[in-house]
Amino acid sequence: MKPIPIVFNLGPLQIHTYGIGLAITFYVAYKLFERRLKAHNFDTEWLTNAFIWIVIAAVVGARIVHLIANFSYYKANPSEIYKIWHGGLSSYGGLLGGLISGIYIVRKKCPVLKLGNALDLIAPVLMVSWAIGRLLGPQLMTSGGGRRTNAWYGMYYANQLGKRLPVPVFQAIECFIIYIIILQIEKKLQKGPLFALALWAVILWDISRFFDEFLYLDRPQRLWDAVEVASLVLVVTASITLIFITRKWKRNGSVQVERNFQPQENDLQNGENSDITDQNSEAEDAAAEDTATEGPYSNNQISLNEDTEESTKIESDIDNTSQPA
């Protein structure tokens, strides 16, 4: 296959396919997460504004980590620092930036959504988003391919010589498979502990990530690459954490965890009390209006009192005039 154009012109406007891919990816992630929140009875009015900040934090985090990991290159080429359409968004940096900002915003805007529940809800979304992002991101940017190959499925990429392993396509397939596995695990974890689904996603994704780096990419095969080390550390850490929370859940009697939002009894009582208070306020306002229009200080009553006082004064003047000197 021929290289995919990374830039095309629409009249005077220059369009980068990498940016279009990111936009589509974020939109799909937003709609899918919104759908999962609604399916579990959580409010979604806060999500739109929150998602904008999460996207910004994810892109900034992804770029910062990439710059740090490739500091020597960008030190020699400072003009490339801001050109994200040339590639260079770290997966781990994006996750770190997005998760930190997301956790903060959720605690502020939707406190009823527990952290473990939020991570379990977002885990499948991240897998789908990553799959789409691989196809519409690295697949469309410069140097997106892996090692050179003569296989029939090899592809040509901009700024790379010869046919290359289509690593982004491999990664997309892997993530879609992980997504299907995660959904099956979710069905079996309906009674399980919170945070378990997110941990399964971390384990499966980092295993695939390790082998992607080790087997496919055009670099020496070594086990001390930063991404490979991070992947192995996360697999071990997530596995230990999963075993710990599962054992703790079983020791506590394997009680079913409520994953849908259920208004608490106090919330319902507060709502009823609020309705009663509003009704009382309306009744008091109506009574005040009646008093103002029909009470002793109404306009008609005041006018009648003034007429009576004036009539009495006139009669008094007449009596004083009629008396002899």
The dihedral sign for the CA sequence 137, 57, 46, 33 = positive
Q: Three-state secondary structure along 117-131?
A: HHHHHHHHHHHHHHH
Between the ranges 30-34, 221-225, 300-304, 314-318, where is the mean pLDDT highest? 30-34
Rounded percentage of the chain residues whose pLDDT exceeds 70: 71
pLDDT of 78 reads: 87
- Which H helix or E strand runs over 24? helix 17-39
Q: b/e map of 134-145 (b: 16 or more CB within 10 Å)?
A: bbbbbbbbbebb
- Is the pLDDT at 268 greater than 60? The verdict is no
The dihedral sign for the CA sequence 199, 200, 201, 207 = positive
Q: What is the mean pLDDT of residues 263-290?
A: 51
Q: What is the mean pLDDT of residues 221-238?
A: 81
* Residue 210 vs residue 14, higher pLDDT: 210
Rounded percentage of the chain residues whose pLDDT exceeds 90: 28
Between the ranges 181-190, 265-274, 301-310, where is the mean pLDDT highest? 181-190
Q: In this predicted model, what pLDDT tens digit does every residue of 60-112 receive, in sequence order?
A: 998 998 898 888 888 888 888 887 766 677 878 888 898 899 989 998 988 89
pLDDT of 309 reads: 53
Q: In this predicted model, what pLDDT tens digit does every residue of 30-58 receive, in sequence order?
A: 999 999 999 988 989 999 999 999 999 99
- Which H helix or E strand runs over 35? helix 17-39
Q: Please state whether the predicted TM-score (pTM) of the whole model is above 0.75.
A: no
Residue 9 φ/ψ, nearest 5 degrees: -105, 135
